Amino acid sequence: MHLIFIHGAGCTGDVFDAQVSAFPGAIAPTLPGHTTPGSPASIGEFADAVTAGLDARGLDSVVLCGHSMGAAIALELALRHDKRIKGIALLGGGARLRVRPATFESIERDFAAAAHTLAEAFFSDPTAARVEGAVAGLLSVGADQTLRDFRSCDAFDVSDRLGEIRLPVLALTGEHDVMTPPKYATFLADRIPGAAARILPGAGHLCMIERPAETNEALLAFVNQFENSPV
């Protein structure tokens, strides 16, 4: 069993450094277009890329852990009923991920300023170090792909299909997440059979960076239910 981390919009696999170091065998690939070749423009295209990655690595038993846009990708893959996927953990995820028009406008008008605004919104406690790290990540991905990411999120909506998922699901969200609030996690848990929601006290949207120990503890409890877990 391998734990596969899928990052969110405007990010790279580096956002999961604290998780990869805690879970032996875990993988946190950087999606196409995010300092890597490619320009995916839909959740479906991102899901295709993750599937290709599983094929290339020869993995036949995985737990997906997606953050935000990555959670949407994990939901899309769960709905494809790929037998390799044994469960999904959704960090700051939602069945639909609407984006305010002002966000698109700000990215198109002045990406550097928009990146700073987004980075501050990622955290409950936006310390200088956290914001600077998030801004650097956004700028490395660039305005074009970040726009594609957010448009992919805005078009995503599987609200009416959640009941089709027949996998163990954990919906984990920060208490102070302003981008995907706790009600998103409870919505998922209410509509996916057997799913559980957990709210992390004191955490914002990037809970895995802001509260790594608590995030890892919740993930550990989740993956330990699977035979031959990666921990």
In this structure, is residue 115 part of a structural domain?
yes
In this structure, is residue 128 part of a structural domain?
yes
Interacting residues of 128 by C-beta distance below 8 A, sequence separation 6+ = none
Q: Is the pTM of the predicted complex or chain greater than 0.75?
A: yes
pLDDT tops 80 at residue 12:
yes
The rounded distance, in Å, linking the Cα atoms of 47 and 74 is: 8
Place of tokens 């036949």: 60
pLDDT tops 90 at residue 1:
no
First to last CA, the chain: 9
In this structure, is residue 146 part of a structural domain?
yes
DSSP type of residue 41 = -
In this structure, is residue 173 part of a structural domain?
yes
pLDDT tops 70 at residue 231:
no
pLDDT tops 70 at residue 55:
yes
In this structure, is residue 229 part of a structural domain?
no
The number of folded domains in the chain is 1
Domain, as residue range, for 15: 2-223
The rounded distance, in Å, linking the Cα atoms of 142 and 71 is: 21
pLDDT above 70 coverage of the chain, percent: 98
Q: Which two tokens stand for residue 210?
A: 């802001």
Query: Residues 146, 100: contact at Cβ < 8 Å?
Result: no
β-sheet bridge partners, residue 6: 66
Confidence of residue 226 (pLDDT cuts 50, 70, 90): confident
Tally Cβ neighbours within 10 Å of residue 224: 10
Tens of pLDDT along 154-204? 999 999 999 999 999 999 999 999 999 999 999 999 999 999 999 999 999
In this structure, is residue 100 part of a structural domain?
yes
Tens of pLDDT along 88-122? 999 999 999 999 999 999 999 999 999 999 999 99
State residue 227's pLDDT score.
Answer: 64
pLDDT tops 70 at residue 28:
yes
Tally Cβ neighbours within 10 Å of residue 221: 12
In this structure, is residue 90 part of a structural domain?
yes
Q: Which two tokens stand for residue 220?
A: 């550990």
CATH at 10? 3.40.50.1820
Confidence of residue 86 (pLDDT cuts 50, 70, 90): very high
The rounded distance, in Å, linking the Cα atoms of 220 and 214 is: 10
pLDDT tops 60 at residue 230:
no
In this structure, is residue 228 part of a structural domain?
no
